[in-house]
Amino acid sequence: MHDSRSNAVNKYHFLLLGAALLTPLAPLLATPATAPAKAETPAAARKPNILIIVADDLGYSDIGAFGGEIATPNLDALAARGLKLTGFHAAPTCSPTRSMLLSGTDNHLAGLGNMAELTAPNQRGQRGYEGYLPADIVTLADRLHDLDYATLMAGKWHLGVRAEDSPARHGFDQSFDLAQGGGNHYGVDISKKPGDLGTTHWENGKQLAALPANFYSSDTYASKLIEFLDKADKAKPFFAYLTFTAPHWPLQAPDEDIARYKGKYDAGFEVLRDQRLARQKALGLIPQSVVAHDVVFAKGAKRWADLSPEERRAQSRAMEVYAAMVDRMDQNVGHVIAHLKATGQYDNTIILFTADNGAEGLDVARAEIPGLSQRVKAADNRVENYGRPTSYIGYGPGWAQAATAPSWLYKGYTTEGGTRVAAFINWPGGRNGVSGVYGTVMDVVPTLVEAAGGQWRGSSYAGRTVQPVRGLSWTPYLTGATERVHAADEQVGSELFGRRAIRQGDWKAVDLGNGWRLFNLADDPGETRDLAKAEPKRLAALTAAWDGYGKQVGVILPSIPPTYP
């Protein structure tokens, strides 16, 4: 059904000679975690192209550049050329992160105070819990479109399912998107008409009754983006937003990709965790002295040694499929990068890669997510069928914590394991190497709007009142003018599912529903030593600051206990 790796790469390398060559990006950044090299600035430098790539539920150490064993040569090459961001943070789950990334403000102000699918009874109908971007939000696409950019999007949207919520209504000239948070990667669950159960796909604001032939999510999203790049006005710079659903459950991948990982995970998730931690230390991503947080085994979960041979076989196979999904995603990143190089656009393109949250620790087979249990029960989940279009599996907390180590927990939590994500920025002329400075997805809008020559400050836009941007631009840091993005005394709060956190410099307070804990992340990035009793005044100041944050952004703590993960 699908091309092999070599044939798939060739698929996108034709009919590209007619594109105009672009002037290389002027060094917007002057000196690099290695300072940028000095370069001559053209008299009439062209605005930079912008490409944002988002991976869905990717673990922190899944790609090679961040310590993984999965084959990701294309992402690794981009990371090596740019600046690896080891202190970059998202929200604990996908749609809140996407609302922050595109708006530059807090998810509670951008309509995603909770995931729409999991809104608590007392949050329904309340401001900030709409489940879509409200009218007072200006997206990055809106801002760049108004700066005369061609704006293109392919992949997961997850910011509303109505026609008026589609990317076409939020600044994108061309778009092909999955409206929901996830679905069958082969598209067999597509809705045929509005109102049907299942996944909804839109192209340029029109719902699709059928998907392209040989649909596989990562392949189709990349090829659609390339198609949109070819159609875009070549007189304009572009903003491209490529949002994969890989490696979000259900874990599904082509057989030829899965076959490359056969037997590679038979030693189990604890062994993989140790191997990845060692590679992160060797790559300089974490200190040699770091203490990793213990693996947390929820009720019903087992250590590898306690699994039966049949359970080990199933777990190993699930991880093989997961690795194949990441591998296939990387292949498709390679297709897009090859297209940019062949059309002369690569050197003038800022590339930001990020995951949308920590690794997924949900036990899909036992989850209490609306609609999920029905899909699992209806699937053919024999181990020999794992990864195929008729299967519906996840990989669970053991593999997730191999990926988030040394951090605590995984997706759904306001701990570092839920919010610290693999990210890098490939910005021509900018810093390169490894940077541990704190950053947030809210910083994306101000950074990229500034790079495009626009203004992002203020509470009015195009004559209307809007939510102001709460993030900060990375430009002063990337140019070497400053050594951090957020001031040491700045307080950044967060909340999801009633789980709370607040960050100030290296200090972080976390409440998962059983009391506040305090950590110094500079000394303890794994959040292993609770300093609440040793630093009561600091904890009191931080919890008071969280209360102020909660009032400011309109947090409504849920009336029911969290069911995720």
In the chain, the number of structural domains is 2
Mean per-residue pLDDT over the chain, rounded? 92
Whether the Cβ atoms of residue 503 and residue 491 lie closer than 8 Å to each other: yes
**Which residue is associated with the tokens 């306690």?**
306
Measured between alpha carbons, how far is 112 from 257 in angstroms, rounded to an integer? 35
Share of the chain above pLDDT 90, in %: 86
Looking at residue 295, its pLDDT comes to 95
Say yes or no: 497 and 528 in one domain. yes
At residue 355, φ and ψ (nearest 5 deg) are -85, 165
Q: Does one domain contain both 272 and 198?
A: yes
Q: Determine contact, residues 481/505, Cβ cutoff 8 Å.
A: no
User: How many residues comprise the chain?
Assistant: 565
Strand partners, 53: 242, 353
Query: Which of 94, 293, 339, 486 does the annotation list as catalytic?
Result: 94
Res 382 pLDDT > 80? yes
The reply to whether omega before 406 is within 30° of 0 (cis) is: yes
Say if CB 48 and CB 28 are below 8 A apart. Answer: yes
Answer for the pair 358, 417: CB distance below 8 angstroms, yes or no.
yes
Q: How far apart are CA 114 and CA 129, in angstroms?
A: 6
Pick the last residue of a domain from 486, 513, 536. 486
How far, in Å, CA of 487 to CA of 361, rounded? 33
Query: Domain for residue 80, yes or no?
Result: yes
Residue 565 in any domain: the answer is no
Same domain flag for 394 and 537? no
For residue 507, which phi and psi values (nearest 5 degrees)?
A: -95, 140
| CATH code assigned at 219 | 3.40.720.10
Comparing 196 with 92, the larger pLDDT belongs to 92
Torsions phi, psi for 499 (to 5 deg): -85, 125
DSSP 3-state of 390: coil
94 is catalytic: yes
**Type of residue at 552:** Q
- Which residues are within 8 A (CB) of 63 and not within 5 positions of it... i.e. 6 or more apart? 70, 72, 75, 76, 79, 326, 330, 422
Q: Are residues 242 and 328 in the same domain?
A: yes
Q: Are residues 141 and 286 in the same domain?
A: yes
Asked if residue 389 has a cis previous peptide bond (ω within 30° of 0), the answer is: no
Q: What's the pLDDT score for residue 18? A: 34
Query: Does position 56 have pLDDT exceeding 80, yes or no?
Result: yes
Q: Which domain holds residue 136?
A: 5-38+48-486
The vertex-417 CA angle with 506 and 74, nearest 5°, equals 105
Same domain, 238 and 301: yes
Same domain for 339 and 439, yes or no, is yes
pLDDT band at 245 (very low <50, low <70, confident <90, very high): very high
Q: How far is CA 218 from CA 76, 145, 330, 533, in A?
A: 18, 26, 9, 48
pLDDT digits (tens, 9 = 90+) for 391-407: 999 999 999 999 999 99
Pair (421, 341) in one structural domain:
yes
Q: Are residues 545 and 480 in the same domain?
A: no
Above pLDDT 70, what percent of the chain? Answer: 91
Q: Are residues 27 and 161 in the same domain?
A: yes
Buried residues in 362-392 as b, exposed as e (16+ CB within 10 A): bbbeebebeebeebbeebebeeeebbbbebb
Judge whether 407 and 338 are in contact, CB under 8 Å. Answer: no
Is 455 part of a structural domain of the chain? yes
Is the pLDDT score of 306 beyond 60?
yes
At 95 the pLDDT is 98
Give the SS3 label for residue 177.
strand
> Using 50, 70 and 90 to split pLDDT, how confident is the model at 3?
very low
Q: Which residues contact 346 (CB under 8 A, 6 or more apart)?
A: 337, 340
Q: Peptide bond before 167: cis, by omega within 30 degrees of 0? A: no
Q: Identify the pLDDT of residue 193.
A: 67
- Does the pLDDT value for residue 55 go beyond 80? yes
pLDDT at residue 311, as a whole number = 97
Full-model pTM: 0.92
Residue 325 and residue 246 in contact, taking contact as beta carbons nearer than 8 Å: yes
Question: What band does 39 get if pLDDT is binned at 50, 70 and 90?
Answer: very low
pLDDT at residue 486, rounded to an integer: 97
Query: Is 72 part of a structural domain of the chain?
Result: yes
CB neighbour list of residue 309: distance below 8 Å, 6 or more residues apart: none
CB 175 within 8 A of CB 163: no
Least confident residue range of 31-45, 92-106, 302-316: 31-45
Q: 486, 517, 539 — which closes off a domain?
A: 486
Q: What is the dihedral of CA 358, 362, 368, 369, to 10 degrees?
A: 50
Task: Specify if 105 maps to a domain.
Answer: yes
Given strand 516-520, what is the order of strands in its sheet?
Answer: 491-496, 499-504, 507-511, 516-520
Task: Check whether residue 231 and residue 375 sit in a common domain.
Answer: yes
Position 43 in a domain:
no
pLDDT, tens only, 365-376: 988 887 898 899
pLDDT for res 271: 98
Active-site residue flag, 185: no
Least confident of 26-40, 190-204, 473-487: 26-40
Given a cut of 90, whether residue 469 has pLDDT beyond it is yes
Q: How confident is the model at residue 24 (pLDDT cuts 50, 70, 90)?
A: very low
pLDDT of residue 166: 97
- Within-domain flag for 22: yes
- Residue ending a domain, among 470, 486, 502, is 486
pLDDT above 70: residue 110: yes
Give the per-residue pLDDT at 25: 34
Residue 116 CA to residue 130 CA, distance in Å, equals: 7
Phi and psi at 493, nearest 5°, equal: -95, 165
CATH number at residue 543: 3.30.1120.10
The answer to whether residue 11 is domain-embedded is yes
What type of residue is 167?
P
- Show the DSSP H helices in 343-433 as ranges: 372-378, 396-404, 416-419
pLDDT of 21: 29
Nearest to 318 by CA among 402, 270, 383: 383
> What is the pairing mode between strands 201-203 and 206-207?
antiparallel
Task: Pick the catalytic residue from 89, 145, 158, 335.
Answer: 158
The answer on 115 and 20 residing in a single domain is yes
